[in-house]
Amino acid sequence: MKVVVCVKQIPDPADPGALDPETRTLKRDVKLILDESDSYGVEMALQLVDAAGEGEVILVSMAPNGERSGLATALAMGAASAILISDPELVGSDALTTAKLLATAVKDQGADLIIAGSESSDGYTGVVPEQIAGVLDLPSVTAAKSIEVDGSSIKVQRQTDGGYDDVTCPLPAVVSVTAGVVEPRYPSFKGIMAAKNKPVEEKSAADLGFDASQVGWAGAGQEIIEVTDAPKRQAGEVIEDDGEAFTKIVAYLENMKVI
């Protein structure tokens, strides 16, 4: 079974990020790490290949400056190889362009299944997996909490507000995975050392058949016009305890329909 996992390499969320005031986009000229929300997809893919007893996990990523640190993590977890799309022309690419580039890189891999995180932890557009499915004309299942392969189709538990839906879908398909649904493995020492020799194929926009007008700022169909701070959280309600505070707390919780 061949599973392609789309992974994003992002600035470390533990370090305060900065926006470029000119472009209103996140500065990405720092060391990048594997987006934690993608580590769930990598783990799920590795488990599926283990369960199938054969096959491999291939990573596809788009990142500036030939950045590979995040790929190294996913390769150390057990992925077999990676395709890295990196090209100065790509700076400013929007979600749809990103999806087209990723889809083009994925297309020739002969994947049975394409997995992605539901949304990245830096951009949060949350549309790229579905756009990849659209570009490749493949079925798309979102918000998966589990995937089970059943011959030439998959059974997916799809997380909803009230619980989950059971979805059956023919392969190949694109599935986006909800963060937190599996426990991503920490790379073993052997995995870390083996990752050094795993192939990472770097591709430019031109390699994928895109010219400069189709990618980056030039090709973007969306524009960030303004960035504003999130509204500050309102101060909470302070209840002074005069011996009867519990009645107010009970009333508050009842009002919230918690109790």
Q: Would you tell me which residues interact with other proteins (CB under 8 A)?
A: 14, 69, 72-73, 76, 186-190, 192-193, 195-196
Residue 88: CB atoms within 10 A of its CB come to: 10
Tell me how far, at minimum, the Cβ of 102 lies from other proteins, in Å: 24
Structure-token match 């990676």, residue found: 82
Whether residue 174 contacts residue 109, with contact meaning beta carbons closer than 8 Å, is answered with no
Tell me how far, at minimum, the Cβ of 70 lies from other proteins, in Å: 10
In the complex with other proteins, which residue's Cβ is closer, 181 or 192? 192
- Nearest one of 128, 129, 136, 125 to 156, comparing CA atoms: 129
Q: How far apart are CA 56 and CA 69, in angstroms?
A: 20
In the complex with other proteins, which residue's Cβ is closer, 76 or 174? 76
In the complex with other proteins, which residue's Cβ is closer, 196 or 232? 196
In the complex with other proteins, which residue's Cβ is closer, 82 or 169? 82
Q: Which two structure tokens, joined as six digits, stand for 228?
A: 């504003």
Tell me how far, at minimum, the Cβ of 179 lies from other proteins, in Å: 16
Residue 4, strand partner residues: 58, 114
Residue 194: CB atoms within 10 A of its CB come to: 15
Tell me how far, at minimum, the Cβ of 12 lies from other proteins, in Å: 8
